[in-house]
Chains A and B, each alone.
Chain A
């Protein structure tokens, strides 16, 4: 069966510090991968998605970036965090079949920028 992991689970960082959140998927190959952010009162917003190694599409211009160094690893980064980067970050994956492409979500990372 497939599982998706995210770490850390919670993170408190000062403004201006760097960020690295990691997501890994097990039990499948060549998945589509997604990073979402859920901010209070704003719903889920897609930040990045990837259909393969090194292939990243950005949905929202911001000071965040994403990388996919391995098939089942997706990393969200920032060089300098802003207060507005606080939120709940969710990674998700789906099969690359284009048919019944349910998205499966990880447990999330709660980021607080102070």
Chain B
């Protein structure tokens, strides 16, 4: 059974810092991995999707990497801004499976 873990559960950093969010998964037989952002009381917004054959994806100040063999992914946020404050969730899709398995998320606070 696939399990996804995100550490830390919460993170607070000053504005302008670069930061890394971590995601680990127990079964390396994945189809893809996604990073989402969730603002309080809102739905999820897809940030980046990495297929199992890829090593990383970039979008603006965001860079996500995938190391399937070690069961890890990181989300790198450069030059953080207060608007980046949100909960960040990673989710994996297993091969042959329809569903995404989500981590519990990291609640990120960027202090001005």
Which A residues fall within an 8 A CB radius of B? 6, 32, 34, 43-44, 46, 49, 51, 57, 59, 88, 90, 92, 100-108, 110
Q: What number of residue pairs across chains A and B have CB atoms under 8 A from each other?
A: 47
B18 at the A/B interface (Cβ < 8 Å)? no
A32-B42 Cα distance, complex, nearest whole Å: 21
**A residues near B105, Cβ cutoff 8 Å:** 43
Chain A residues whose C-beta falls within 8 Å of the C-beta of B23 in the assembled complex: none
Residue of A nearest to B102 (CB): A44
Besides A51-B98, A101-B32, A105-B45, 5 more A-B contacts (Cβ < 8 Å) are: A44-B89, A46-B100, A49-B99, A102-B46, A104-B46
A107 contact from B42, B91, B93, Cβ within 8 A: B42
Residues of A within 8 A of B100 (CB): 44, 46, 103
With an 8 A cutoff between CB atoms, is B19 at the interface?
A: no
Contact of A43 among B34, B42, B104 (CB under 8 A): B104
Contacts of A110 in B (CB 8 A): 41
Given the complex, which residues of A lie within 8 Å of B93, measured CB to CB? 101
By secondary structure, the B interface counts as: strand
Smallest Cβ distance from B28 to chain A, in angstroms? 19
Name B residues whose Cβ lies closer than 8 Å to a Cβ of A: 32, 34, 36, 41-46, 49, 51, 89, 91, 93, 98-100, 102-105
Given A43-B105, A59-B99, do A102 and B42 touch, yes or no (CB 8 Å)?
A: no
* Other-chain residue from A6, A90, A103 in contact with B34 (beta carbon distance below 8 A): A103
Q: B51 contacts which chain A residues (CB < 8 A)?
A: 100
For the complex, what is the distance from the CA of A88 to the CA of B45, rounded to whole Å?
15
22 contacts between A and B (CB under 8 A): A32-B98, A43-B102, A43-B103, A43-B104, A44-B44, A44-B91, A44-B100, A44-B102, A46-B99, A51-B98, A57-B98, A59-B99, A90-B44, A100-B32, A100-B49, A101-B32, A102-B46, A103-B100, A104-B46, A105-B45, A108-B42, A110-B41
